[in-house]
Amino acid sequence: MKGIITGGIVIFCSVMAGAQTNDTLMIRNIADEILKNSAAYENLRVLTKQIGPRLAGSAGMVKSESWGYELLKKTGADTVWMQECLVPYWVRGGKDEVIVQSGEIKKNLAVIALGNSTGSGAKGVTADIIEVASFDELEAKKDLVKGKIVFFNYHFKRSFVHTFRGYGDAVKYRGQGPSTASKYGAVGVMIRSISHGENNVPHTGSTRYDSNYAKIPAVAIGLQDADWLSAALKEKKMDATIKTYGYFKPDTTGHNIIAEWRGSTHPEEIITVGGHLDSWDNCEGAHDDGAGCVQTIEILRAFKAIGYKPKRTIRFVLFANEENGLRGGLKYAEAAKQKNEKHLFALESDAGGFTPRGFGFSASAEVLAKVKTWEPLLSLYGTAVYPGGGGADIGPLHRELGTPMAGLDPDSQRYFDYHHAANDVFEAVNRRELELGAVNMAALIYLVDQYGL
Amino acid sequence: MKGIITGGIVIFCSVMAGAQTNDTLMIRNIADEILKNSAAYENLRVLTKQIGPRLAGSAGMVKSESWGYELLKKTGADTVWMQECLVPYWVRGGKDEVIVQSGEIKKNLAVIALGNSTGSGAKGVTADIIEVASFDELEAKKDLVKGKIVFFNYHFKRSFVHTFRGYGDAVKYRGQGPSTASKYGAVGVMIRSISHGENNVPHTGSTRYDSNYAKIPAVAIGLQDADWLSAALKEKKMDATIKTYGYFKPDTTGHNIIAEWRGSTHPEEIITVGGHLDSWDNCEGAHDDGAGCVQTIEILRAFKAIGYKPKRTIRFVLFANEENGLRGGLKYAEAAKQKNEKHLFALESDAGGFTPRGFGFSASAEVLAKVKTWEPLLSLYGTAVYPGGGGADIGPLHRELGTPMAGLDPDSQRYFDYHHAANDVFEAVNRRELELGAVNMAALIYLVDQYGL
C-alpha cells in the first residue's frame, strides 16, 4: 500500500485525525481542570472528617445524604433528587471483645464483629477454640466442632498480583464461615481478617447467615493477633470469650442521591456514573467509597468549569447501602426498568482512590472493541481498557437492562490495608491519585457522551 | 494466510511457545518467591530504622556500607567487594532556621538548608525579602535584588501526569536559584520546596554554586509556609533572618558495594543492577533510595532461593554518593573502562518503592525492539517497556561504555510527597509495592541473562 493513497482514505484519515485532535485537546482540558482546580480532595475531607461513618440507617447516613444532595445542587446539575429505598439497619451495639485464655495467659485480641452478625450480649460466649486453615480442614474435623469456637485462619494469598483476586479467594470465610461452622454445632466464629496488611487492625464486612443453622457471633481478628493465636494454639489448648452486641433495627428509609444533567441532542440516552455513599461504621470510608463519591461529583464540576455541554443525559449517582444490602443499586435498576429508561452505559468507582490503571468492562465484544479504539487517548492518563469489571451498585442495571458497565480499576496493592478497617481515613488517600481517577473517569464519560457505544 | 500453515511456521511457533512457556513459568516462579518470601521489606526496616540517614562521609554511610557488604555476602554472591571512591563530605552543622518579621508579626518558617549550601553561621543573614515567581521575574526585578533575600516561589506544575516531568521543570530553582540571585547581589535565597505535597515538610536536595558569584545561604520552605509568606508579602514588606551552618569537610573515602555472581556460559558479559546507598541527612531515605537497594539484594536472594544459575555475570551494586556528588557511579564506570569490562546492560531503581509501571530504556532502537518482545511477559506483573530512562548512577556507564541502560519507573504520584524530606521513612513504603518492583526487575534481569540484548 506504500505510496498509494486514494482520495477516500485521505478524507477518512483527516476526519479521524480531526476527531483525535479535538478529543486529545478536550481530554487535556479536562485533566488540567481537575489536576489544577479539583474540589475532590477537599470534598473528601468534609465527607470523612465532618460526617465520618455512614452505615445504612445511621445518623451518618442521613447527614451524608444531605451533604451529597446540597453539593450536587451547588455543583450545577439540572435536577437533583433523592430516590427512596428501604435499607437494612444493622447496629454494632457495643464494643466488640475477645478474650482468650489458658492458665496464666489471658489476652484481649484486636477484633471487630462482622457486619450483620448477631450479638452474644454482655455475658458473651465462652468455649474452647478449634483452629482450621480452611473449609476442607473444617470438614475433616467436623466431629470436633460441637460446642466450640471455630477460628478460621485462612491466609489471604499474596501471590496474586491483583489483590482483588486474593480477596475473591479469601472472602468466603467471612461470608460463609459462621454458618458453615454453625452447621457442625460451633457456638462462635473468629476469622483471620481478609487482608494481607502489615498491621493489627481488624477488618469487618458483611457475613451471610444460612437460615438453616443457628446464628452465632462472629468476629474478625487483626493479622498479628491471628498469628499470635495460631502460634499459641500450637503450644496448648485455649478458650475464648466472644462479646458482641450486633442486632438489626427495623428497615428504614435511605436514598440514592441522583443528579441529572440533560443531554442536548440525545437526552433520552442515559449515562450513569457513581460510587456508594454508605460506609462501614468503624471507619471514615475514605477509600471505600468516599473516593468514588467525590470523583463522581468532580466530573460534574470539571465539565461545568470548562463549559462542556453533554449530548446525552449524564446521571451522577451516590448509591445507598452497598455494604450490607445493595438496596440502592437494586432500587436504581428497578426504577429504570419501570420507567423504561434507555441506559447507554454505567461506570462505577468503588475500588479505592488509588492511581488508576484501567477500566474493566462488562459489555459485548462489539462495545469493547469500540472502547478499545479510545485506549490511546486514555493511556496518556494511565488507563487501559480490558474485559471484566463493573461495580456492585451498577450490577443490577447491567443484569436487568443489559446496560454495558465498567469499573475504574485503580492500583490494588494498598486497598486491603484499609478495606473495612478503622484506618480507612482521609489521610490514607493521596490527592493526586484521587484526582487522576476522576480525570480518567471524566475522559471515558466524555468519549461515551460524544460517540455513544 | 488463514488455514495455510507451513511446516516451518509450525516448528517456529512451537519453539516460540516453548520459550514463552518456560519464561512464563520461570517468571511466575520468581514472582511467587518474592511475593511470598521476600526479605526486602525487613531489610528496608533495618536500613532505615537501625542505620537511618547515610549521607556521604557521615557515620551512617560507614554503617550502611558494612550492612550492605555483610547482607550481600550472606545472601550468597560469589564475591563481594568494596570499591573505594573519594566522596564529598558536606555537613549541615546545626539546626536551620528562618524567622520572618514585620512589625508585630514574627514567625519561624519550616525550612531546611539546601544540600551543599554554605552556612550563614549563628549570627545569620538578615535582609528584606523580595518574592519572585520565576527566573523571568527575577530578571525583570534584578535592580531591586541587591542586599535582599530572594524568595523563589515557583510552583511545581500539577498538570504533568508523570510527576518527574514537574520535578524536571521546577528543580532548576533549587540548583541554580542561589547563584542566579547572588549574581544580582542577593545575600540569601529561600525557595518553595520542589514538591506538590499537602503538608509543610521542607524538601532539601543539592544546589550548585556558580564560582563566579558569592556563595550565599539557601533554604527550602515547606509549601504551606511558602503560601503563608507569599500572602503576607502581598500585605506588607517583611524581612527574614536565615541561619544555616552548612560546610564541607575534606573529601573522604566512600565505597560502592559490589556483589558479583559469575555466569556459567558467558561470564565475561556483565549485567549490573543497583540502587544508591546514600541518602540525605534529614530522613531515613526509605524511598530514596533504600527501596532500590533492598530490591537489588532481593533479586539475588530470590534467584538463589529458586536455584537459578545465571548464564552471564550479574553484579548487584549499592552505589555511593548519588545525592551530592555521583562519585560512586563515576568510579564504577571508570573502573569498568580501565579493566575493559564488557557491560551488557545496567538497570537502576531510584524512583521510589511504589507500584512498578514500566521500564524506561536508553538503548538503541534494535535493543528496544528486542526488549519490546518481552513486554507480554512483564505486563502480567504490571510493567511496560518504553524509550527514555536509566539512572543517575548507571549514567556514566551508559555514556562511557555505551552500555544500554534502563530505570524502573514506579507510579510517580506520591514520590514528591517524600523526596529529600523528613517524612521519607520506612512507614511510607508499602510492602507489596516494594516487592512488585523487585519482581519486575528480577524478571527483566532474567530475560537479559537468558537472551542477551
Listed by number, the residues of chain B in 229-268 with a beta carbon closer than 8 Å to a beta carbon of chain A are none
| Contact check, Cβ <8 Å, B411/A411 | yes
Taking the domains of chain A in order of start, what are their residue ranges? Answer: 28-90+250-451, 93-245
Q: Which of A80-84, A212-216, A404-408, B16-20 is predicted least confidently?
A: B16-20
Of B161, B413, B414, the CB nearest to A380: B161
Of all residues in chain B, the percent with pLDDT exceeding 70 is 96
pLDDT band at residue A453 under the 50/70/90 scheme = very high
What is the pLDDT at residue A20?
Answer: 64
Q: Is the predicted pLDDT of residue A3 greater than 90, yes or no?
A: no
Mean pLDDT calculated for residue range A191-200: 96
A382 part of contact set with chain B, CB < 8 Å: yes
| Partner B contacted by A433 (CB < 8 A) | yes
Q: How confident is the model at residue A21, as a pLDDT?
A: 86
Residue A11 has pLDDT above 50, yes or no: no
CATH class given for the domain over A28-90+250-451: alpha beta
* pTM of the full structure: 0.95
Name the closest residue on chain A to residue B432, using Cα atoms: A413
Total beta-carbon pairs less than 8 A apart between chain A and chain B: 58
* B 172-231 near A (Cβ less than 8 A): 196, 198
Considering the four listed CATH numbers 3.40.50.720, 3.30.930.10, 3.40.630.10, 3.40.50.150, the one that applies to the domain covering B32-89+250-451 is 3.40.630.10
Judged by CB atoms closer than 8 Å, whether chains meet at B432 and A158 is answered as: yes
Question: For residue A417, what is the nearest residue in chain B, using CA coordinates?
Answer: B430
Predicted confidence at residue A19, as pLDDT, reads 58
**Which of A35, A163, A355 minimises the CB distance to B158?**
A35
CA atoms within 13 A on the CB side of A191: 36
Measured between CB atoms, does B32 come within 8 Å of chain A? yes
**Spans of chain B below 50 pLDDT:** 1-17
Q: How many Cα neighbours within 13 Å face the side chain of A418?
A: 26
Alpha helices in B38-107 (DSSP H): 40-45, 59-75
Domain B93-245, what fold?
Answer: Glucose Oxidase; domain 1 (3.50.30)
Nearest to B382 among A35, A36, A161 (CB): A161
* 8 Å CB contact of B161 and A196: no
Res B21: pLDDT: 86
Task: State residue B15's pLDDT score.
Answer: 43
Q: Given pLDDT bands bounded at 50, 70 and 90, which one contains residue A13?
A: very low
Q: Annotate A161-229 with three-state secondary structure.
A: CCHHHHHHHHCHHHHCHHHHHHHCCCCEEEEECCCCCCCCCCECCECCCCCCCCCCCEEEECHHHHHHH
Average pLDDT in the A369-379 region? 97
What tens digit of pLDDT does each residue of B317-357 get?
999 999 999 999 999 999 999 999 999 999 999 999 999 99
pLDDT, tens digit, 9 for 90 and up, residues A46-63: 999 999 999 999 999 999
Q: Answer whether B204's CB lies under 8 Å from B113's CB.
A: yes
**pLDDT value at position A2?**
35
Please state, in angstroms and rounded to a whole number, the distance separating the CA atoms of residues A48 and B72. 46
A196 contacts B158? CB cut-off 8 A: no
Return the pLDDT at A379: 97
Q: How confident is the model at residue A18 (pLDDT cuts 50, 70, 90)?
A: low
Q: What is the mean pLDDT of residues A31-43?
A: 98
Per-residue pLDDT averaged across A397-406, rounded?
98
Q: Do A382 and B355 touch (CB under 8 A)?
A: no
Task: Identify from B383, B411, B427 which residue to disrupt to test chain A contact, counting A C-beta atoms within 10 A and taking the largest count.
Answer: B411
pLDDT at A7 over 70: no
Q: Which of B322, B341, B348, B435 is catalytic?
A: B322
- Close Cβ partners of A421 (under 8 Å, ≥ 6 residues apart): A193, A195, A197, A201, A202, A203, A204, A282, A283
DSSP assignments along A54-115, one per residue: --TTSHHHHHHHHHHHHHHHHHT-SEEEEEEEEEEEEE--S--EEEEEETTEEEEE-EEEPB
Phi, psi of A336 (to 5 degrees): -60, -40
- Contact yes or no for B32 and A159 at CB 8 A: yes
Task: List the single residue in A with minimal CA-CA distance to B416.
Answer: A432
| Confidence (pLDDT) at A5 | 34
Q: Does any CB of chain B come closer than 8 Å to the CB of residue A337?
A: no
What does the pLDDT read at residue B370? 98
Mean local confidence (pLDDT), A86-115: 97
**H, E, C per residue of B101-164:** EECCEEEECCEEECECCCCCCCCCEEEEEEEECCHHHHHHCHHHCCCCEEEECCCCCCCCCCHH
A142 DSSP assignment: G
- Identify which of B161, B198, B355 has the shortest CB distance to residue A381: B161
C-alpha cell of A233? 494454639
Q: CA neighbours within 13 Å on the CB side: how many for B150?
A: 33
Indicate yes or no: CB of B432 within 8 angstroms of CB of A414.
Answer: yes
pLDDT band at A300 (very low <50, low <70, confident <90, very high): very high
